[in-house]
Structure 1
Amino acid sequence: MTQSVADHLLRRLSQWGVTKVFGYPGDGINGLVAQMGRLPDGPRFVQSRHEEMSAFEAVGYAKFSGEPGVCLATGGPGAIHLLNGLYDAKLDRVPVVAVVGQADRTAMGGSYQQEVDLHSLFKDVAAYLATVTVPEQLPNVLDRAVRTAVGRSAPVVVIVPGDVQELDYSPPEHAFKHVPSSAPDPLSEESRTLPPVAALDRAAEVVDAGERVALLIGQGARGAAEEVLELAEATGAGIAKALLGKDVLPDDLPHVTGSIGLLGTRPSWELMRDCDTLVIIGSNMPYSQFLPPFGRRAVQIDADPGSIGMRYPTEVNLVGDAKATLRALLERLDPAQGLAEPRRRWRETVEEGVAHWWEVLDAQARVPADPVNPMLVVHELSLRVPDDAVVTADSGSVTNWYARLLRMRPGMRGSLSGTLATMGCAVPYAIGAKFAAPDRPAVALVGDGAMQMNGLMELLTARRYHELWDDPRLVVCVLHNNDLNQVTWELRAMGGSPKTPFSQDLPELSYAAFAEQAGLVGITVDRPEDVGPAWDRALSADRPALIDVRCDADVPPIPPQVDREQLVDTVKALLSGDPDRRGVIARGLAAKAQEFLPRRD
């Protein structure tokens, strides 16, 4: 029996271990979609409401499964819609394989309907990009794409014209200008690359000499959590986390200072300010102003040589797998240095700062607001989120509260669009997470701007597939303030401009009512005392749920350290007729005061 190209492609994906394909149908991929219907043991087609959501779901799936995500779209507009999600994968270094249709070969070059120059479209975003024009190309192109996606943690694109999908498949021959391929092999993003011995020795000398050591970890340290903790114990170091590394270590460790950067914590800022030695592990956090003043001794560990030495003038750069490199570094540290008195005092200082900061956040979350303080929403989630939960956060002011107030516990996972910082990713990320780990609850923290942008429609996707999940819980929490709040604050603090309602105000909508109409649980919250019970109800629901919380837009996301220029610009904006200046001043002063009020012993 003959086999079509579409059939062989799907079976090849199955050999690679692919079980889900996130997509939206269109005539450019009719051959593939039709074959999926005839292949009961092939990958499951997960239909989103929009191709951009398919790409985001593939990113979420990859982030939380450790396997490549696969998305499928027709050519022309469908391919164009994939771009934002694929750039998200590129910038956060996530393996995603996009399979894209194209006009039939006989029509290509003829300005045919929906014909787009896909190579020009995808050439910047894709680590590997190829068009299959004859059946014999397929195994090599597809296999190389998957291996590249995994090996480089990047998106790749395979283009298959519509008529090629329908052709009979024939393998490459042992012949001139035919390119064979080997069988799919087990996928792994792990590398055991080690730096040169001399570099490891120099790094050990730098670390041994430090009395106030700080570690900064990112997502590249995820497989090396045990080694990170051993290094911290050996040196008395405090540990700050880049946003993409927020779930690498739990926040219940007394020397973990939390997130770093504009959205970070005061203990992380103090850790960087006061350390004499910095070790960066698997992080490409771009905001160098939040790293130590130049001149401190520093070592960086990263598997990607292109990320080495980019953010801080490091003294020793170690290109290698974080786990293996840290293990080799630990073996070279001088045990006589240990926790000498200066290091013990440093660790005690770090732990005191962390303990005080959690008390400050607790007090800030309880500052009265009109009607609900958004900090309270994430604070109450932290008190009751399941230990095995997956939490996603959107881009916007909600990112601040996720970064600072969500206390990661052992076993929890979390992520967001860390580098592209695109709006609209949290709900599709959570759906991707549910397909990656159907036995774990998922929570998506979303602003109302992102929810209106594309989150509403993906509630229908959650409703459609939730019965496939062993644990049906997917909770979407909308911070409802009718304001594009993060941009409003950026206008004030960075542009010296008052809020511009014509660009910032959002149309009113009951998100809970929309969820109920979609067949989900809808919960409305407009009083602080109802926030905790709302989380309890949503987290015990038998199907996906949405919490619609009326939040105060005037609660400021105050950075860990406000520089003079930001302060001047904010005051200038408020004095220039900002319509919310009274609430901003009152909430800002009340929140900042919590840092200086005495706390319980």
Structure 2
Amino acid sequence: MNVSEFVWHRLSEWGLHRVYGYPGDGVGGLDVALDKAQDTMSYVQVRHEEMAAFMASAHAKFTGQVGLCYATSGPGAIHLLNGLYDAKMDHVPMVALVGQAARASIGASYQQEVDLKTLFKDVAEYVEQATVPEQIRHLVDRAVRIAHNRRAVTCIILPKDLQEMDYEDPPLKHGTTHTGLGYAGPAQVPDNAQLRAAAEVLNSGRKVAMLVGAGALGATDEVIAVAERLQAGVAKALLGKAALPDDLPFVTGSIGLLGTGPSWDMMKSCDTFLMVGSAFPYSEFLPKPGDARGVQVDIDGTRLSLRYPMEVNLVGDSAATLRALLPLLEQKKKDSWRSDIEDGVRDWWSTLERRAMDSADPLNPQRVFWELSPRLPDNAIITADSGSAANWYARDLKMRRGMKASLSGGLASLGAGTPYALAAKMAYPERTVIACMGDGAMQMNGLNVMITIGKYWREWSNPRLIVLVLNNRDLNQVTWEERIQLGSGKTLSTQSIPDFSYHRYAELIGLKGIFVDDPDHVGAAWDEALAADRPVILEAYTDPNVPPLLPHITLKDAKNFISMIPSEPELGSVLKNSAKELVTSMLPGKD
């Protein structure tokens, strides 16, 4: 084998069998070798390298495996960065392969020569450039092992000429190293003394609140068992949306800027706080320091006591640690704490339904998500983009057991929803995948990814991939942030975006397009999309001035809202929709 052939062979020996990328002369050797390796390595050709990195990040999130992407030298490598930072900030494992100028030209300001080690040193935990064939085995082995064990991004830089050289194992002599295959399991359990200390805190509390994140996605049974033992309510960070089903009466839903009223109320009135597998960033939505005793579980010790001053910090795998902790926990009796949480959750779902049924011009975006929720197929996979669509995804969609869901969390990058959806579909072609997009994200990256979907959909055993686009002609989340956080009216020059016929674009590339602007037709539109024989763009023509209300409105928020009135160009619509939503929230059953 030459070096490129060995790279793909070795990666497949590690169990990596899908790579997302785009060709180029800087990776010509890898391109040719990849075509020969089709039996062991599935290649997904994207339209832009950023999409390759997003897809590799999503692959890691949905499968638990190491994501893999590659790109050519210079601009191709640079394009990867946003998706690589998505993986870094959400702590998922990914390996990136990038080309480089030929070794003899490095340092001569050659075409497409970029200092890639410097470029990638912040985003990648491990980044090395190969210089001789004898390095390749240990570079691949270390990149995969470090990515897996540290849940990090790693990068291998392969000069163009080296890719075509004959591969050689390193000789057995001084100055060489000989690496091997094999993952190390992450199932760490704290020692008994730490577990007993945690149990003492949790047993002494009367009002226990839990917060779970992406680290609890594999610990659903354990989280439920601990919550029942402690009679706790459980809130979910956005990346942990699929960690617990929403039909459990003590699950308060999402937390934070996109969160729910019950999550806010629970966190502000608890006396004990258990945080599992989450790096949720917004401390203002957690208990006030000193008001609650805290216990945290995380596989990464550097993220303990990062958002709240915890009394007991446990380094360990979420499922294994909770299983070890459970026998030490005393069974609490159901009292007013748990009953109040369940009452609050029940009332909240009723409030969301009433909000969704409020009229708008022409369509309330909440109605679109509320109608989808009961129609979600079993084992559906849902992705969401950043923007106001993430609000309705977080609040209005009820997760059931077996579903998966994710989005760009720590980076909150616009444009990740469609590459995430495609990666989910490539990993699980038999499952229905739904991407929830705003029109800003769709114009940024979504139209690009639809072409890739058009290229591959006939290979899937189940052709259903639905891309919902909320067409509101506005960069909506930022518009509302300006109104509420800055006290400024909508700035039309920066916030208004072109109207575009997304459903007709779908038809142009051989997919199905559906358009809806009537609230009474939303359910039928979803039924049509879910019955389609090919991927669908469902375009919902929605009102941009339906407010994504915060779970708790502060005096400062109210003052800012009043301050924006003189400069708001769409004041009548903003005031009307805001009044409807506030009245619906405060006076259940009233129009």
Pick the aligned partner of 2:228 from 230, 233, 242: 233
SS of the residue 2:297 aligns to: strand
1:173 Cα shift?
Answer: 1.1
Distance between the aligned counterparts of 1:529 and 1:159, measured in 2? 55
Matched, 1:49 2:47: yes
Distance between the aligned counterparts of 2:572 and 2:92, measured in 1? 43
1:539 Cα shift?
Answer: 1.0
Distance between the aligned counterparts of 1:315 and 1:374, measured in 2? 42
- Paired residue for 1:339? 332
Pick the aligned partner of 2:539 from 534, 537, 548: 548
Distance between the aligned counterparts of 2:455 and 2:525, measured in 1? 23
1:248 Cα shift?
Answer: 0.4
SS of the residue 1:106 aligns to: helix
Pick the aligned partner of 1:9 from 7, 10, 14: 7
1:599 Cα shift?
Answer: 5.0
After alignment, is 58-67 or 439-448 more displaced? 58-67
Pick the aligned partner of 2:211 from 216, 232, 239: 216
Pick the aligned partner of 1:481 from 460, 465, 472: 472
Pick the aligned partner of 1:373 from 364, 369, 380: 364
- Does the 8 Å CA contact 1:282/1:303 hold for their aligned counterparts? yes
- Does the 8 Å CA contact 2:439/2:469 hold for their aligned counterparts? yes
- Does the 8 Å CA contact 1:79/1:100 hold for their aligned counterparts? yes
- Paired residue for 1:437? 428
Matched, 1:584 2:574: yes
SS of the residue 1:433 aligns to: helix
**Structure 2: which amino acid aligns with 1:313?**
P
1:420 Cα shift?
Answer: 0.3
Distance between the aligned counterparts of 1:344 and 1:283, measured in 2? 27
Alignment of 1:65-464 (within 5 A): 65-182=63-180, 184-185=181-182, 187=183, 191-295=186-290, 296-334=292-330, 338-340=331-333, 343-464=334-455
1:38 Cα shift?
Answer: 2.3
Distance between the aligned counterparts of 1:462 and 1:270, measured in 2? 42
Distance between the aligned counterparts of 1:38 and 1:237, measured in 2? 55
SS of the residue 1:67 aligns to: coil
Matched, 1:503 2:503: no
1:592 Cα shift?
Answer: 1.6
1:494 Cα shift?
Answer: 1.0
Distance between the aligned counterparts of 1:203 and 1:28, measured in 2? 53
**Structure 1: which amino acid aligns with 2:574?**
V
Q: Deviations over 1:563-600 (max 9, x none)?
A: 11121112111x22211111111111111212222459
Distance between the aligned counterparts of 1:39 and 1:479, measured in 2? 40
Percent identity, aligned pairs only?
A: 51
- Does the 8 Å CA contact 2:18/2:44 hold for their aligned counterparts? yes
1:339 Cα shift?
Answer: 2.6
Q: Deviations over 1:322-378 (max 9, x none)?
A: 1111112111123xxx233xx422111110000000000000001000000000111
Q: Structure 2: any 5+ residue segments left out of the alignment?
A: none
Distance between the aligned counterparts of 1:240 and 1:554, measured in 2? 28
Distance between the aligned counterparts of 2:193 and 2:49, measured in 1? 49
TM-score, normalised relative to structure 1: 0.97
Distance between the aligned counterparts of 1:470 and 1:18, measured in 2? 22
- Paired residue for 2:61? 63
Distance between the aligned counterparts of 1:376 and 1:390, measured in 2? 20
SS of the residue 1:99 aligns to: strand
- Does the 8 Å CA contact 1:398/1:445 hold for their aligned counterparts? yes
- Does the 8 Å CA contact 1:498/1:576 hold for their aligned counterparts? yes
Distance between the aligned counterparts of 2:288 and 2:350, measured in 1? 28
Distance between the aligned counterparts of 2:108 and 2:560, measured in 1? 54
1:222 Cα shift?
Answer: 1.4
Distance between the aligned counterparts of 1:360 and 1:39, measured in 2? 54
- Does the 8 Å CA contact 1:36/1:42 hold for their aligned counterparts? no
Matched, 1:560 2:543: no
- Paired residue for 2:503? 512
**Structure 2: which amino acid aligns with 1:196?**
D
Q: Deviations over 1:64-88 (max 9, x none)?
A: 1111111010010000000000000
Distance between the aligned counterparts of 2:579 and 2:295, measured in 1? 39
Distance between the aligned counterparts of 2:16 and 2:317, measured in 1? 25
Distance between the aligned counterparts of 2:435 and 2:226, measured in 1? 33
**Structure 2: which amino acid aligns with 1:382?**
S
1:234 Cα shift?
Answer: 0.7
Distance between the aligned counterparts of 1:390 and 1:205, measured in 2? 39
Distance between the aligned counterparts of 2:426 and 2:405, measured in 1? 15
Distance between the aligned counterparts of 1:99 and 1:523, measured in 2? 39
**Structure 1: which amino acid aligns with 2:189?**
L
Q: Deviations over 1:485-521 (max 9, x none)?
A: 0110111111111111000010111011111101100
Distance between the aligned counterparts of 2:371 and 2:213, measured in 1? 26
1:387 Cα shift?
Answer: 1.4
Distance between the aligned counterparts of 2:557 and 2:169, measured in 1? 62
- Does the 8 Å CA contact 2:386/2:412 hold for their aligned counterparts? yes
SS of the residue 1:168 aligns to: coil
- Does the 8 Å CA contact 1:359/1:599 hold for their aligned counterparts? no
SS of the residue 1:30 aligns to: helix
TM-score, normalised relative to structure 2: 0.98
- Does the 8 Å CA contact 2:488/2:567 hold for their aligned counterparts? no
Q: Structure 1: any 5+ residue segments left out of the alignment?
A: none
Q: Deviations over 1:211-256 (max 9, x none)?
A: 1111100011112111111111111100000000000001010100
SS of the residue 1:94 aligns to: coil
